[in-house]
Structure formats: structure tokens, C-alpha cells
Structure 1
Amino acid sequence: MYDLVIIGSGPAGLSASIYAKRAGLNAVTLEQNPMSGGQVLNTYEVDNYPGLPGINGFDLGMKFREHADKLGCEFMEAAVQEIKTVEAARREANQKEEGKAEMKAASLPENRKMDSGFIVATDQEEIKTRTILAAMGATHAKLGVPGEEELTGMGVSYCATCDGAFFRGKVTAVVGGGDVAVEDAIFLARACEKVYLIHRRDELRAAAVLQKEVMSLPNVEILWDTVAKKIEGSDKVQALVLENVKTGENKVLAVDGVFVAVGIIPSGDILKGLVKQDENGYVLAGEDCMTSMSGVFAAGDIRKKKLRQVVTAVADGANAVTSVLEYLNGVK
């Protein structure tokens, strides 16, 4: 049985892996994808991580993983399908085997006398653990307009650093107004003939330094008070239908690619019913990363907090393991 199962291998999960290993915990980090690093892998440049100014996001993610590997942290590539408390698993087993003296071994933790802990069911195996750290991060929000789903991978993208090279010398549009959207526009401007930045408000939400840079680029045009209504194309993106939110005027923009950067959605579906979440799905947990369920902790972008950046995710990972240690010392 593990002391800690960390779900997710982004900055928060990798930080927690490192701290757990150094603390002597028997821990494993589950990663659904074969590449550690989370969303930072899709960031062209990270200019606000102390000590590593201007580092490529992919390189930073690899450095995190290399650090964890150097310490001998355990990783498992597996998709989590369900999380149950040992108590709930025991109740279910009792119901299935009502009237029998013995329960199926697969439905029970190895130590049948243990009255706390969790069973994490994955597509590989069932894992028994005393505590869980949810660090699954978040996924890209979608526009929800006609043509988006159909043309994803055929000109619609959620990662400029991943797919930008395919649009060299072409015309692209970035939808959004935050840091990621502006960073995407800056990145694409280096290779694209023209970049449109589509924002529904009359001012950007991005950091001032990013706004200054994007507004200085001659091949970037910002369309204010504008929303995307439809993405057109047959086997590839050909146009973006726009609407001015103030005038109601519609226009069709001929583009080769559409990059969507309208926010993130927490990846916390497997936690529903287990811990308290807000109306958007973010896990309610304080700076100690403790959730409403004893023994379950949350770190990184999945946690409800003011600032979601690499540095705060790394801090969450460290804080979470500190709380895990305190919890285990109280229940062992």
C-alpha cells in the first residue's frame, strides 16, 4: 500500500513527487499521458519562473521530470477511472456478497483491518493508498461554435507552440484576451504572414508587458469587442465568422488557422461526490491543499485560487506534501 498517490504530472504533481521522495514517503505519480509537464509543455516561453528567465516551457517541464527521475521518484502511466474510500469499497463488497463470510479479494484492500484509505481504480490496476493528491490540472476551454469540433486538427488548435509551425506564411486568428492568447499571438507572429487577435472586450486581460509587445507587432491586428460565431471549412479551416458585440455587425475573416485560448476547465470529474468543488469544478482547498475529504489533497490548477502559474503550482506541490505528512503522522 502506498502512503501517497499523486494524480497528474504537471508542475504541481512533479513538485509533490520530489518532496514526497525526499520525505521518505512511499509514493507513486500517475500520469495519463506519456509526457510529464502538463500545460507548461505548450508554452513557448516562461519568463517569470525565478532563476530561469525566458526558458522554453517544454524544456522547463523536462527539467522538472529529470529532477524527479534523478531522485528515483516512481511513475506509472495510467488513466484514473474511479476513486473510492476503503469504507465505500467494503460496503459495496458486503452488498455484493451478502450472506457470505468472505468477500472477493479484488474488492478489498490488502489490510482488511484498515478503516481508512482509498482505492484508486485505473485502466491498468487498482492501487491502494493512504492519501491522494489530485494534481490533474486543467484542459483547454472550447468556443462551442459550429465547426470547432469538426475542424479540430484541421486548422483549429488549442496549442500555438505545438501547431504554429504548420501555418508558416499563412493567416491565423487567436481567440482570447488573456496571457495565453497574447503569448500565442506573439509566437505566431514570428512565422505567420498575418495574425488576428479576437477579443470580446475593449481591453486585454494579459500582463502589461505582453500587451505592449503584441501591440508593437506590425503583422498582428486586434479586433476589439468581437466574438467568434462559426468556423467554416470543409476539410480544413477557411474562414472565421465574427460578430461585433456592440454593433451586432457580422463579418467573415479568411484565415488558415484558428487558435483557441479562452481559458481552462479543471480536470476534476473523477472527484465529483468525493470532495467539495465550486460551480466551475475547481476543488475547494486552502493553501494547505486540504480538501473537504480527509486524506485527499489538491494542488495546482485544479485548486480554486487567485493565481494559476507554474510557480504557484510548484508551491502547491510542496505545501500539499507537507500537509500529507502531517495527516499521516496523525493517523498512523
Structure 2
Amino acid sequence: MMAADSGATVLEKKDDSPKMPDKKKTKFDVVIIGAGPSGYTAGIYCSRAGYDTLILSGILPGGQLVNTTEVENYPGFENGIMGPDLMIEMRKQTQRMGTTIVDDEAINVDFRDSPFKILTGSEEYEGRAVIIATGANPRKLGLEGEQTFAGKGVSYCATCDGPFFRNQELVVVGGGDSAIEEATFLTKFATRVHLVHRRDELRASKVMQERAMNNDKIQFHWDSAVTDIKGDQKMQQAVIKNLKTNEEKTLDVGGLFVAIGHEPNTQMFKNQIDLDEEGYIVLKNKTKTNIEGVFAAGDVHDRSYRQAITAAAFGCMAAIDVDKYLTEKS
């Protein structure tokens, strides 16, 4: 049942009584695949609306935030909160609303008919509606130091972490629109931004290129790649190699931002729902996929914002769309 308040559409609370997880239960009203901010938020809204809801969290629940240190830009936490702690709180709230959470990974799906089937390594689940919230992972450089200093100087989100690097020199790796956007954004805080690109020209749009070229704080390193990341407790240096001359130089920098794209976690959905050329889910209307009853939320379709707060918002939207769908079907 839907309710309107001051022009806003919200889900009306139907049943707030706690539900005890049944390990043998395999049939649900709603199955949510993924347990980041979008998945947990969708679970809260669906369960609060009275739907028997399952979240398949995967082997490492929590999404990208479990690998994040301090989160300063999520509302409600005046002094910030550590990424893993935020996800623990979301999980607790979702469970309090009655959502069943199974820490198992979906490995295959069958969306040909409703109820839809979701297969894990040990069980087959069914849902009258499905929300895909499997997220996307940033592409990585593949360096040992990248993993060592992740969250300690190495980042994949300038919007999230840029303010932590005030008055420092930084490195951005990449040559597309995202890299230029990140480099430009970081000039608000950094004394200098070194943009490292493997080619001798950018792949970014002309407008973005001109903006970067005219920014005195951005220094370009053409035909180059980062080959090593060094430091003690935190990252302190980036080693850059010219791929044509093999000349190496070491930059004293406080942080390195990798901006070479993301990979949506949609491999299991190929030939099941419509994906674009990069693997992102194509939405037909709001959060709806091309399969009636299958919805998507968060970074699995969002290539623009990629924030915890926007992922949570998409989870809310998907849950509202599910409620409308199931109400019409009942």
C-alpha cells in the first residue's frame, strides 16, 4: 500500500513485528541480490512495507564501504563514521525490520518466469520480485602497493576522499572523463595534481580536456604508468615510468586516485536482462529492467554518481517500485 505526504511517495508501514529467519525457507516476496547501501536500504523499505524479504549478501557483505576508512559525507554522523561501521549499522537496522539476510553468494539466476529463481552454491531461492544491487568494482592497477595502501593514500573516489588531502600533491591515473573530472575536483584541495596517462592524448571529451589543460594545478605525464607505490604507514611516493623511454621518476605525493573505470557485477545476468556495452544494467523506467518484476538499484546501473547516499536512494526507489508492482499483481 502506498501513502503520499506533502506530495512525496513513501512506503506505508504494514507490519513491524520481528521475523525470525527460517534457514529452510526458500520462497520470498522479494529477493535482493547484494548487500551494500542500496541492498540494505531496499531491504528496510520492503520489509517495513510488509513483504517477506531476503537479502543474499554475498561472501563479503557491505559493498565497497567495507574497504573504506572514514566516511564524512553520509548524513546523520556529525563526526563521521568508519565505512565498515556504517555497513554494520545498516545491516542491524535491516534485520530489525525483519529482513532475512543470508551470507551466501548468488551464482546464477533464471528470470524467464515468475517466481524468479536465484541459485547459490547451496540453495535455490524464489522471489515474486527481485532487486539487483550487486554494485560495481573500480578497475585496479594491479600493483602490490595499491593493495597495501588502499585507504592509506590510495583511493578510487575523489568526491569521497579528496577533502582528506588538503595542501598535498596528488596523483590521478587515467585519461577519460572520469579521470579529468577527478583531477579537476582535487585541485580544490591539492597543491598540485599529477595526471598520469598511458597515451599521448586524452580520451576525455573536448570540453573536459580544455578545462584540465587550462588548470595550472594539473601537470600531465604522457605515455606513462605508475609502476610502484611506496610509503611507511601511509603512501608517500609514486614511481612513474615513461613507456616510450623507460625513464622512471619518483614523485613525493600524499595520495593516488585510480580513475580507469569501473566493472559492474553483472556477469550472471548476461542473456537474462538488458546490459549496455560496458555491462551496466539498462533501466527502462525508473528502476525497472526489461524484465517485469526485476529491478536494479545502485552502482550496478549508475555510472555517474557512485556515492553511498545515492546508492541508498536508489535502493529506496527500487523498493517503492517493487511495492507498486506487487500491489498491482495481487
2:293 is matched with 295
Q: Please state whether the residue corresponding to 2:84 is helix, strand or coil.
A: helix
CA deviation string 1:186-226 (max 9, x = no partner): 39x9xxxx9751445698523977532233xxxx7635323
2:67 is matched with 42
Q: Is the 8 A contact 1:156 1:260 kept in 2?
A: no
Q: Please state whether the residue corresponding to 2:70 is helix, strand or coil.
A: coil
1:2 aligned to which of 28, 32, 53: 28
Q: Is the 8 A contact 2:34 2:55 kept in 1?
A: yes
Q: Is the 8 A contact 1:155 1:256 kept in 2?
A: no
Structural mapping, 1:81-160, within 5 Å? 81-85=107-111, 87=113, 116-143=114-141, 148=142, 151=143, 154-157=144-147, 160=150
Whole-Å separation in 2 of the counterparts to 1:3 and 1:299: 17
Q: Which amino acid aligns with 1:251?
A: E
2:58 is matched with 32
Whole-Å separation in 1 of the counterparts to 2:47 and 2:248: 55
The CA deviation at 1:133 is 0.6
Residue 16 and residue 133 in structure 1: after superposition, are their counterparts in 2 closer, same or farther (change >3 A)?
A: same
Q: Is the 8 A contact 1:204 1:211 kept in 2?
A: no
Q: Is the 8 A contact 1:179 1:207 kept in 2?
A: no
1:168 is matched with none
Q: Is the 8 A contact 2:45 2:319 kept in 1?
A: yes
1:51 is matched with 76
Structural mapping, 1:174-253, within 5 Å? 174=154, 178-179=158-159, 182=162, 186=165, 196-200=170-174, 204-206=180-182, 210-215=186-191, 222-223=194-195, 224-226=219-221, 228-229=224-225, 231=227, 240-243=239-242, 251-253=247-249
Whole-Å separation in 2 of the counterparts to 1:158 and 1:286: 41
Whole-Å separation in 2 of the counterparts to 1:182 and 1:139: 19
Residue 158 and residue 269 in structure 1: after superposition, are their counterparts in 2 closer, same or farther (change >3 A)?
A: farther
Deviates most, 60-69 or 17-26: 60-69
The CA deviation at 1:78 is 1.0
The CA deviation at 1:284 is 1.1
Q: Is the 8 A contact 1:175 1:197 kept in 2?
A: no
* Structure 1 vs Structure 2 CA RMSD: 3.7
Whole-Å separation in 2 of the counterparts to 1:72 and 1:177: 33
**TM-score using structure 2 length:** 0.69
Whole-Å separation in 2 of the counterparts to 1:256 and 1:214: 13
Residue 133 and residue 200 in structure 1: after superposition, are their counterparts in 2 closer, same or farther (change >3 A)?
A: closer
The CA deviation at 1:82 is 0.7
Q: Is the 8 A contact 1:182 1:211 kept in 2?
A: no
Residue 45 and residue 176 in structure 1: after superposition, are their counterparts in 2 closer, same or farther (change >3 A)?
A: closer
The CA deviation at 1:44 is 2.9
Whole-Å separation in 1 of the counterparts to 2:226 and 2:73: 35
Q: Which amino acid aligns with 1:62?
A: I
Q: Is the 8 A contact 2:172 2:183 kept in 1?
A: no
**TM-score using structure 1 length:** 0.68
CA deviation string 1:224-268 (max 9, x = no partner): 3236536369xxxx9844338xxx665324589996622321111
1:322 aligned to which of 320, 323, 326: 320
CA deviation string 1:117-156 (max 9, x = no partner): 211111121111111110000112134xxxx3xx5xx423
Q: Which amino acid aligns with 2:189?
A: E
Deviates most, 11-20 or 297-306: 297-306
Q: Is the 8 A contact 1:133 1:296 kept in 2?
A: yes
Q: Which amino acid aligns with 1:179?
A: T
Whole-Å separation in 2 of the counterparts to 1:44 and 1:295: 36
Q: Please state whether the residue corresponding to 1:206 is helix, strand or coil.
A: helix
Percent identical residues: 29
Q: Is the 8 A contact 1:158 1:259 kept in 2?
A: no
The CA deviation at 1:72 is 2.9
Whole-Å separation in 1 of the counterparts to 2:184 and 2:257: 21
2:278 is matched with 280
User: Which structure has more helix as a fraction of its residues?
Assistant: 1
Deviates most, 268-277 or 197-206: 197-206
Whole-Å separation in 2 of the counterparts to 1:254 and 1:283: 40
User: Which structure has more strand as a fraction of its residues?
Assistant: 2
2:310 aligned to which of 292, 309, 312: 312
Residue 209 and residue 37 in structure 1: after superposition, are their counterparts in 2 closer, same or farther (change >3 A)?
A: same
Q: Is the 8 A contact 1:177 1:198 kept in 2?
A: no
Q: Please state whether the residue corresponding to 1:205 is helix, strand or coil.
A: helix
